[in-house]
């Protein structure tokens, strides 16, 4: 029998199943990334993006199509991380625009929504590149329109769209030479396919594991110290009713109360003919129950852990106080006159955080390479900076889209995204800030100055691959420049030197080295001395960056 509609309940299940599937497959998707670097990447970013929306969906009770569409769109937009996550959020945004006015989804509505999804995602990317997730989305939309003219049966429509999506994905290496060289399909396209596969499983009625979507019991919970519950002498509030099998005499009542007093406190023991109501705080409820069973059967048994309840109360109180303090600080800050301009920077290590603070950056978002911050993180930062114009320095090419998405959601401040793709570019941008100039003049100056920065990063390969005509093996050291991998070797210092050889030219004046958390100060100073010897005509500045994963981040200006 044909299936011709998807109702709101089914759509919710399909969305959550898609989220669960990409969460389960995220490491597989990460491994498809062309660069073999040890970063949280496409699969992680797409999973975190859709999970943010999934939590909003699960919070709905009895949703209609409008509220479900809003939860999917808003949750994914705010939770979007990395370029792949932002594009996925835009696909959801377009898709939900296409369905929200309909109580049920048929083939025509679904096909049009897929087109709307594709169009919205393409508009969000300044220079759309084929051979990516966008190409897969386009293939899905085109096939959907074609099939909508041939069938009204969703059981025919959906699998054929999926089959076509897989065929398009398999062709992505032919569209992007870098994919072909690395021997992989596009990771973002694979991620989109996994979302659709999960949704289709739910449509077919397959059993889905939704456990990944349920919020962790310990998430966001502050650990309460043992001292805070020490005043609770007896931990279990124990209540039950005895249905006495013979008369419960005054002597029985007196003896039972004495027993309860020997194992706890807060005793209540009230007898009414053959029914006895019992309440006791004790550390061993089993003893109270065993004794009670000598008088008859038990009913309405209830045992509560009072220490746990006390901890939960303390947590609620602490969270309430913290929220009140934060709100008070926020109100106090808002009462202060706004300054003309402020800065937000994404940073990747304690040393670099401190450098940005010393340069006057108002708010540091920690993340960068190993965990791309979300659009929501950007919005929180914007809210905290009390300025009319706020400059955002993403300092990573994979964060620029999320910054721009946040900009589009802000109405009460001017947001200026300086598209810094590396931390050295961000440092150069803020160094060249002139408070006396207007925001527009500063924007123009920063955009011009970051063009003079050539960046490099030294890290290790997590797998074998071939890229930019370079054979790379797991464990090799890589020097990654602004346009790709510049050098490969087995020594951190020698690979960095080889990279510098290609970055330094006759116009270069300064080399800046930022050493990571896995490099000792002594090793960094020795390496700096070697660089000074190699380039005596240049100034060499060395700073502790504290960044994970990247042994050195360096800049040539």
At 447-506, the pLDDT tens digits run 999 999 999 999 998 888 888 778 889 899 999 998 889 999 999 999 999 999 999 999
State the pairing for strand pair 510-515/539-544.
parallel
Give me the chain's average pLDDT, please: 88
Higher pLDDT, 223 or 430: 430
pLDDT tens string 29-64:
988 877 666 655 788 889 999 999 999 999 998 899
Going by pLDDT thresholds of 50, 70 and 90, the confidence category of residue 537 is very high
Please state, for a pLDDT cut of 70, what percent of the chain lies above it: 90
CA distance 388 to 447: 20
* pTM, rounded to two decimals: 0.71
Pair 514, 506: CB distance under 8 Å: no
Residue 427 has pLDDT above 80, yes or no: yes
Query: For position 447, what pLDDT does the model report?
Result: 96
* Predicted pLDDT at 487: 92
Each residue of 157-187: b (16+ CB within 10 Å) or e?
bbebbbebbbebbebbbeebeebebbebbbb
Query: In Å, what is the CA distance from 403 to each residue of 17, 285, 303, 388, 441?
Result: 28, 56, 50, 17, 20
Class of residue 409 by CB neighbours under 10 A (exposed 0-12, middle 13-18, buried 19+): middle
Spatial contact of 346 and 393, defined as CB atoms under 8 Å apart: yes
**How far, in Å, CA of 463 to CA of 478, rounded?**
12
Confidence band of 226 (pLDDT split at 50, 70, 90): very low
d(CA 556, CA 455): 6
pLDDT at 328 over 70: no
* CA 503 centroid distance within chain: 34
In percent, the amount of the chain with pLDDT more than 90 equals: 64
DSSP 338: P
d(CA 267, CA 264): 8
Residue of 69, 45, 44 whose CA lies nearest to 57: 69
Q: For residue 39, give the H/E element and its range.
A: none
Lowest mean pLDDT among 138-152, 212-226, 333-347: 212-226
Q: What is the pLDDT of residue 53?
A: 93
Asked whether the beta carbons of 290 and 259 are under 8 A apart, the reply is: no
pLDDT value, residue 273: 66
- Integer Cα distance of 362 and 380 in angstroms: 13
Residue 225 has pLDDT above 60, yes or no: no
pLDDT for res 314: 67
Q: Are 556 and 424 in contact, with CB atoms under 8 Å apart?
A: no
């Amino acid at each position: 029998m044909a299936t011709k509609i998807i109702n709101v309940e089914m759509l919710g299940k399909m969305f959550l199943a898609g989220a669960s599937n990409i969460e389960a497959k995220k490491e597989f998707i990460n491994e498809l990334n062309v660069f073999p670097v040890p970063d949280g990447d496409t699969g992680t970013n797409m999973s975190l993006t859709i999970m943010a929306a999934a939590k909003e969906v699960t919070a709905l009770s009895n949703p209609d199509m409008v509220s479900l569409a809003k939860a999917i769109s808003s949750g994914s937009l705010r939770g979007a991380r990395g370029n792949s996550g932002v594009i996925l959020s835009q696909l959801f945004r377009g898709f939900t625009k296409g369905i929200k006015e309909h109580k049920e989804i048929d083939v025509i509505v679904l096909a049009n929504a897929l087109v709307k999804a594709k169009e919205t995602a393409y508009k969000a990317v300044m220079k759309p590149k084929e051979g990516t997730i966008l190409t897969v989305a386009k293939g899905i939309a085109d096939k959907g329109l074609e099939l909508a003219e041939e069938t009204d049966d969703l059981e025919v429509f959906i699998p054929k769209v999926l089959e076509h999506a897989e065929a398009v994905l398999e062709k992505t290496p032919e569209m992007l030479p870098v994919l072909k060289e690395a021997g992989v399909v596009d990771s973002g396209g694979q991620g989109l396919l996994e979302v659709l596969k999960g949704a289709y499983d739910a449509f077919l009625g397959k059993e889905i594991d939704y456990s990944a979507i349920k919020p962790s019991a310990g998430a966001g919970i502050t650990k309460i110290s043992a001292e805070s519950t020490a005043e609770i002498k007896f931990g279990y509030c124990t209540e039950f009713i005895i249905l006495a099998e013979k008369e419960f005499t005054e002597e029985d009542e007196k003896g039972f109360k004495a027993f309860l007093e020997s194992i706890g406190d807060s005793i209540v023991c009230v007898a009414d003919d053959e029914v006895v109501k019992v309440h006791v705080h004790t550390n061993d409820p089993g003893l109270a129950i065993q004794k009670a069973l000598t008088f008859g059967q038990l009913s309405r048994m209830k045992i509560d852990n009072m220490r746990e309840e006390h901890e939960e109360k303390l947590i609620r109180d602490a969270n309430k106080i913290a929220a009140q303090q934060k709100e008070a600080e926020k109100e106090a800050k808002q009462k202060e006159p706004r300054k003309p301009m402020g800065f937000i920077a994404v940073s990747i290590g304690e040393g670099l955080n401190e450098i940005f603070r010393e340069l006057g950056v108002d708010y540091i978002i920690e993340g960068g390479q190993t965990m791309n911050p979300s659009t929501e993180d950007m919005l929180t930062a914007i809210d905290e900076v009390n300025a009319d114009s706020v400059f955002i320095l993403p300092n990573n090419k994979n964060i620029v889209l999320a910054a721009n998405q946040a900009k589009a959601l802000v109405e009460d401040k001017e947001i200026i995204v300086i598209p810094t793709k590396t931390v050295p570019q961000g440092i150069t941008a803020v160094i060249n800030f002139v408070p006396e100039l207007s925001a527009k003049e500063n924007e123009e100056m920063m955009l011009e100055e970051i063009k003079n920065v050539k960046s490099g990063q030294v890290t290790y390969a997590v797998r074998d691959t071939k890229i930019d005509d370079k054979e790379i093996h797991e464990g090799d050291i890589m020097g990654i420049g602004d346009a790709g991998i510049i050098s490969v070797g087995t020594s951190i210092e020698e690979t960095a030197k080889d990279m510098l050889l290609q970055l330094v030219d006759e116009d270069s004046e300064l080399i800046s080295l930022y050493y990571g958390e896995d490099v000792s100060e002594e090793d960094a100073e020795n390496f700096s001395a070697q660089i000074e010897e190699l380039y005596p005509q240049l100034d060499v500045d060395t700073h502790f960056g504290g960044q994970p994963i990247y042994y050195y981040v360096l800049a040539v200006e």
